[in-house]
Amino acid sequence: MSDPDVIVVGGGISGLSAAWWLARSGRSVEVWEQDARLGGKIASRQADGYLTERAASMMLNFRPEVSQLLAAIGLDDARIPCPSAPQCQRYLVRNRGLVSVPMRLGALVRSPLWSLRGKLRLLAEPLVPRGGHPDETVSEFVVRRLGREVLETAMEPFVAGPLASDPDQASAHAVLPRLVALEQRYGSLVIGASVRRILRRGTAPVRELFSFDGGMATLIRALSATSGVRFRARCTARHLEPTRSGWRLTGQMPERELTVRARELVLSVPAPAAAALLHPLDSDLGRLLDGIEYGALTVVHVAFDRSAIRHPLDGMGFLVPRSEGLPLTGCQWMSSTFPARAPRGKALLTCYVGGARAPQTRDWTDSRSIDAVMALLEPLLGIDAAPEQVWIDRHESGLPLYHGAYFGRLHAMTKRLRNWSGLHLAANYRGGVSVRDRITCAHATARRIHTSLAGSRSAGSATAFDSSTTPAVLRSLG
């Protein structure tokens, strides 16, 4: 069997979508995945009429590449949209009660979440002069532009919840690249957003929040069926070596060792795994990767008879600001958002424990995590019964936190990579953790590879890359 053009190490969404874009442009690709199952963090569990997600439960998309991929793999009809207003209401915990998050300007003005002073500070944002520096934290950026109340009640729960990170340590450039770019370009977030809205009138990308029939595993299944890609499960990359024409990769399969050559190599594995492979070649690059911090997360799914919960569950769930002093960062009301994920008459709630806010929860037993969840849910939602079912998913290294001088770290990594022709790092510590960002970054990586291979050898088609331009945040990753 001939050598592939590209080997992708890691069969999570980053690796699978990179392989898909490459195959679509006519390249031969192998994906090596150490587990028996493809999907990495993403996996959907079906049991007793419930569907629970191990990690990503839905995706928010506004990128044309992502829409293109989903349509091409036949998932347009499998999408299950999240409810639109008013059922998409989100809440914040405030003094152990729930306050709805304002979705429109009028509601924001009336909202009890912010004081009059906080609201005036928010409205004064266009008057704040440009500022900041490359290592500015999320907290510094948000307080400087929007005020402390917005940080504590809006940005902190968002950064601690879906991103598991700590805004006092997370890099604004890495975590909020679009907001930072608005300030740099227009001098103001409010003015920048308004100008963009006017310029894009009629052509603005639609923001869609959805999952799939059968859960996020449906996306993984569809990508795992990509023709032109050879998938090698239970194949752990152990050693890589540059050759005159590309890379030689050695891996361990259950019964034998395997060595394959390819022109280009994509490492779509978590940073510690990439560091282990790269240390012998480039200790500086290895150190940069090793220095990336990850947050541990415990996902606790609890199911109840609907009659046991007094709250109407009229929304998608809630986030918990740090001011509440809790180890939980949020709870998604899954059966309200996706009714098919629970049997009729039952309620499924998915809670997130840990992250940078509560690293001590990494060592908690299952029962301690369940107790912490129930101690909040019972009074908050008026629950007067024990859960009928509980499932727990643990992620020892759940998400990269983007802490510290991350922008500098990414730039230093990009600079080191210039010494290694044909080597690409494409995983969720670079360019965003969301499924959308992973697919968008994979598109950019595949385009770079396609261009490089087209320069050295003709084959393949560029049409897979025609429909969009690479966003600025990805250009900065080189």
Ligand X SMILES: Cc1cc2nc3c(=O)[nH]c(=O)nc-3n(C[C@H](O)[C@H](O)[C@H](O)COP(=O)(O)OP(=O)(O)OC[C@H]3O[C@@H](n4cnc5c(N)ncnc54)[C@H](O)[C@@H]3O)c2cc1C
Binding site for ligand X (CB under 6 A): 9-15, 32-35, 40-42, 55-59, 236-237, 268-270, 273, 297, 299, 395, 398-399, 427-428, 433-435, 438
DSSP secondary-structure letter at 179?
H
Question: For ligand X, which is the closer residue by CB, 177 or 270?
Answer: 270
Question: For ligand X, which is the closer residue by CB, 111 or 250?
Answer: 250
Question: For ligand X, which is the closer residue by CB, 34 or 89?
Answer: 34
The nearest distance, CB 105 to ligand X, in angstroms, is: 27
Instruction: Give the Cα separation of 429 and 411 in Å (integer).
Output: 13
The nearest distance, CB 274 to ligand X, in angstroms, is: 8
Instruction: Give the Cα separation of 133 and 115 in Å (integer).
Output: 29
The nearest distance, CB 155 to ligand X, in angstroms, is: 18
The nearest distance, CB 97 to ligand X, in angstroms, is: 25
Element spanning 120, H or E = helix 116-123
The nearest distance, CB 125 to ligand X, in angstroms, is: 28
The nearest distance, CB 238 to ligand X, in angstroms, is: 7
| Half-sphere exposure in the Cβ direction for 309 (13 Å, CA) | 23
The nearest distance, CB 429 to ligand X, in angstroms, is: 8
Residue 152: exposed, middle, or buried by beta-carbon count in 10 A (0-12, 13-18, 19+)? buried
- Which among 71, 183, 204 is positioned nearest to 133, based on CA atoms? 183
Question: For ligand X, which is the closer residue by CB, 113 or 240?
Answer: 240
- Which among 372, 315, 303 is positioned nearest to 99, based on CA atoms? 315
Question: For ligand X, which is the closer residue by CB, 35 or 149?
Answer: 35
Question: For ligand X, which is the closer residue by CB, 54 or 121?
Answer: 54
Instruction: Give the Cα separation of 264 and 262 in Å (integer).
Output: 6
Q: Would you list the DSSP string of 7-35?
A: EEE--BHHHHHHHHHHHHTT--EEEE-SS
The nearest distance, CB 282 to ligand X, in angstroms, is: 17
Question: For ligand X, which is the closer residue by CB, 14 or 68?
Answer: 14
Question: For ligand X, which is the closer residue by CB, 80 or 308?
Answer: 80
DSSP secondary-structure letter at 450?
H
Sequence-distant contacts of 97-105: CB under 8 A, at least 24 apart = 97/380, 98/311, 98/318, 98/380, 100/315, 101/154
Question: For ligand X, which is the closer residue by CB, 224 or 428?
Answer: 428
- Give every CB contact of residue 330 below 8 A, 6+ residues apart in sequence: 157, 161, 162, 317, 318, 319, 320, 351, 352
- Which among 428, 145, 379, 358 is positioned nearest to 155, based on CA atoms? 145
| Length of the chain as a residue count | 478
309 forms beta bridges with 383
The nearest distance, CB 249 to ligand X, in angstroms, is: 9
